[in-house]
Structure 1
Amino acid sequence: MTIEEMRALLGLGPEFSDAYVANAYAEYIGAGGGAAGDVELIPLAIVKKHLRLEADDDAEDDLVALYLAAAIAHLDGRDGWLGRALVERVYVQTFAGFECAGRLPYPPLVAVTGVERREGDLWLPIAADQWDVVDDRLVPVGGGRWPAGAARVTYRAGYDPEAGRPLPKALQAAILIMTADLFRNRGEVASTTTSRVSMSASVEALLSPFRIWRV
């Protein structure tokens, strides 16, 4: 995998050095991470069963997979309706200061892989034995004090059934309903956008307890 492909996967911009990107990718893979497309939140077989398609009929598998991906993308990550990470991936969050960090966004948090402080034009790592994570918040070890200045946190968040972190049943049910609506009304839905994904009252009722509201 090239450095640029690693950047795209991890969501790291040009302000991160190639060495930083390569190290972050190594940590990601070492911790069991994989490309977003490799994570199957809901098996295709379950989606086909919900759509009442024959298990051995693969004629529309690509279309079903496309609408399933569209439903997930409508909800997932930074731009998603839920404000929550669904597909596990790496996030990088910058804060004006450590005291502003609060809970890391886009739960569920899997692991924090790096903490840095800003010094001039440089981001300097803070050793892992100097911080801990409590209730999805960064805290200094031993009641110590954080350094002054901006903070940057790299972490992994999301669900991964193969790693024992399955998508909650209510989220699965909502995504199945959304996928079915796209599939059954395909003539009215542009297959290249998620902007018209259905959000019926039943779907919103299933999703609302999991929605993260931000101000």
Structure 2
Amino acid sequence: MKKFSVKEINELLGVNDAYKAPQKVMDVMLDDKKREEMFKRFLKVETDVSRDWFREYFQKEQAERKSKKQDFTPDSVAKLLNALISGEDKDDNIYYEPAAGTGSILVAKWQKDRIYNPVASELPLAQLMTYDPRAYWYQAEELSDRALPFLIFNMAIRGMNGVAIQCDSLTRKATHAYFIRNNTSDYLKFSEVIELPKTDEFAQELNVIWVDENEVNDNDII
């Protein structure tokens, strides 16, 4: 299992300093061609997508521990949490996570979903082959400008279907929302990233209140 160094991640992202990474990732996530090119660069170096590649990088270089009390979940804890809240006999194909960070727990849930498939429960090797991304929905929320681009990256490179919302999960004040879409049965396909318009219809659907970015700040965080 490879661990990316700060230097490696910066090179793969195409930045010369970590502080430039969040904006670069967000810009690329909204460009179909550049997004796939970036994903392929990472996958040439590491093909194990069962864990969050950015957790240690983000915690070291990007975390806002003082202002936003950010700390990030180790892979072992993410797996344990998913084991505690999920069961093989449960219909848990809809997932919701507030304060998702870069997506460590979300990735662990996705890994469990794609490996466990009740249709092929007695044929372990067939479980992954019968995984259909369209059968699962992941809603992840994160307030931080720095963490959100990496969360979107983690969802899209894994071909998830869901939504990433930049919001305060307590007040429901939101500044952006992104539809992560893989409308195929191909579990190896990347997702599209579509920024949702700030309409009343989407506000109602996502249970958010659209606000300007300067209206969501550290004072909103409890």
Same fold, TM-score > 0.5, yes or no: no
Bigger Rg, which one: 1
More helix, by proportion: 2
TM-score (norm 1): 0.24
Greater relative contact order (Cα < 8 A, sep 6+): 1
